[in-house]
């Protein structure tokens, strides 16, 4: 909460549009160093590329990596506390107490505009959640190594850092959600191409250079569209947030939006095996492989997939995304034309 409130108060009204850019770039860089960076530095295969003698251990361990970033966190926080100055605020803009804060949050959640906003975002995020949560797992199931996935993801980091800087000038307007809606169709196209890439991965025994090139290009398209949607969404959050309760408001909106993405992904991970249909051939005791692959193999049979749940869920998701673009996007765009008062609450409400 304090980060969002500091962001609202440190930036001037003219530059408040850069709040979404700061957030996007910061999260992208943080995700790289916290996840992809660690996987790469912990991988012996990756580290041996820069060694004269190959070793069976990575460059760092979990313990040393966490200790290093713990020190960086303390130093950075100390620097911000000592050297970064916030704008002076009136007494009426001071933080609310514990009870008052949660009362304000409940009032915000009950606002019609907020309910429509979160509902629209939940549907579009849910439509892309099967692809976002399952693609990496399916590629590894097809035989792609974890190191290769990490390398492909790492190559996208410069784009994900630079793209928000480019997009900001288009989202820094009175209608940032126009950019959000404009990113839906390119993201659907990218999702379709990724699905075809996964299908192709199961039909080959080796991954040649063209596979990696195609995968990188497709991922660039998908990532660019997703980043465009995220930046414009954060831009809109910054615009409708009440400065007097900026930290509470921004935290609440972003928490609801994050749940709109993580909850459908969890459901997708649970649902994919239940949608998949497979047959155990060559066994006299087991006929289906559903949740029983080891028994099939132990009895001398082999599992063959009849219907892959990944493709079923992704197809359903893409249909939902198209319907969202066709129908719900109109409702979504109208939210940015509502009076700012419809997004705010007062102590008398």
- 256, 15 Cβ separation under 8 angstroms: no
In this prediction, residue 295 carries a pLDDT of: 72
In this prediction, residue 200 carries a pLDDT of: 93
In this prediction, residue 290 carries a pLDDT of: 62
Confidence check: pLDDT of 326 > 50? yes
In this prediction, residue 31 carries a pLDDT of: 72
Q: What percent of the chain has pLDDT over 70?
A: 81
Return the structure tokens found at 45: 């295969």
Q: How far apart are the first and last CA of the chain?
A: 23
In this prediction, residue 194 carries a pLDDT of: 95
In this prediction, residue 163 carries a pLDDT of: 77
pLDDT band at 2 (very low <50, low <70, confident <90, very high): very low
| pLDDT, tens only, 14-54 | 665 566 667 667 776 777 777 777 877 887 877 887 787 88
Which of 298, 299, 274 is closest to 284 using CA atoms? 299
In this prediction, residue 311 carries a pLDDT of: 94
Out of 44-58, 109-123, 192-206, 247-261, pick the least confident.
44-58
pLDDT (mean) for 272-286? 77
> What value does the mean pLDDT of the chain take?
81
Out of 57-61, 77-81, 173-177, 188-192, pick the least confident.
173-177
pLDDT band at 349 (very low <50, low <70, confident <90, very high): low
Return the structure tokens found at 276: 């998949």
Q: What share of the chain is helix, strand, coil (3-state, %, to 5)?
A: 75, 5, 20
Burial 146-164 (b: 16+ CB within 10 A, else e): eebbbbbbeebbeebbebb
In this prediction, residue 1 carries a pLDDT of: 43
Confidence check: pLDDT of 91 > 80? no
Q: Which is more confidently placed, 290 or 9?
A: 290
In this prediction, residue 240 carries a pLDDT of: 84
In this prediction, residue 305 carries a pLDDT of: 78
Which strand (E) or helix (H) includes residue 232? helix 209-240
Spatial distance between the Cα atoms of 21 and 167, rounded to a whole number of angstroms: 9
Query: What radius of gyration, in Å, describes the C-alpha atoms of the chain?
Result: 24
Q: Which is more confidently placed, 344 or 296?
A: 344
Q: Which is more confidently placed, 250 or 194?
A: 194
What residues have CB less than 8 Å from 240, skipping those under 6 apart?
249, 340, 343
| pLDDT, tens only, 124-167 | 999 999 999 999 889 988 888 877 887 777 777 777 777 777 77
Confidence check: pLDDT of 215 > 80? yes
Confidence check: pLDDT of 5 > 60? no
Confidence check: pLDDT of 284 > 70? no
| pLDDT, tens only, 64-81 | 999 999 999 999 889 888
SS3 150: helix
Confidence check: pLDDT of 3 > 50? no
* Chain-centre distance for alpha carbon 39: 18
């Amino acid at each position: 909460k304090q980060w969002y409130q500091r962001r609202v108060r440190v930036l001037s009204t003219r530059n408040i549009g850069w709040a979404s850019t700061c957030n996007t770039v910061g999260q992208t860089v943080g995700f790289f160093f916290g996840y992809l960076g660690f996987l790469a530095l912990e991988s012996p295969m990756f580290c041996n590329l820069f060694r004269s003698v190959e070793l069976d251990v990575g460059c760092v361990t979990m313990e040393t990596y966490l200790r290093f970033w713990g020190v960086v966190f303390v130093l950075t926080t100390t620097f911000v506390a000592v050297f970064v100055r916030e704008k002076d605020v009136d007494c009426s803009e001071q933080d609310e107490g514990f009870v008052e804060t949660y009362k304000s949050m409940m009032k915000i959640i009950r606002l019609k505009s907020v309910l429509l906003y979160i509902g629209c975002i939940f549907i579009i995020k849910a439509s892309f959640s099967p692809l976002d949560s399952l693609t990496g797992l399916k590629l590894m199931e097809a035989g792609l190594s974890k190191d290769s996935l990490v390398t492909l993801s790492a190559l996208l980091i410069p784009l994900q850092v630079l793209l928000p800087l480019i997009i900001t000038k288009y989202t820094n307007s009175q209608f940032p959600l126009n950019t959000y809606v404009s990113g839906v169709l390119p993201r659907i196209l990218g999702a379709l191409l990724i699905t075809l890439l996964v299908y192709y991965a199961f039909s080959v025994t080796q991954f040649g250079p063209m596979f990696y090139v195609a995968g990188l290009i497709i991922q660039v398209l998908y990532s660019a569209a997703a980043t465009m949607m995220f930046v414009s969404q954060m831009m809109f959050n910054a615009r409708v947030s009440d400065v007097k309760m900026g930290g509470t408001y921004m935290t609440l909106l972003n928490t609801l939006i994050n749940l709109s993405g993580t909850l459908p992904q969890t459901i997708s991970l649970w649902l994919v095996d239940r949608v998949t249909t497979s047959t155990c051939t060559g066994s006299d005791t087991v006929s289906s492989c559903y949740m029983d692959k080891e028994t099939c193999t132990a009895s001398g049979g082999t599992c063959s997939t009849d219907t892959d749940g990944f493709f079923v869920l992704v197809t359903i998701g893409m249909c939902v995304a198209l319907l969202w673009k066709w129908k719900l996007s109109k409702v979504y765009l109208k939210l940015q034309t509502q009076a700012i008062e419809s997004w705010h609450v007062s102590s008398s409400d």
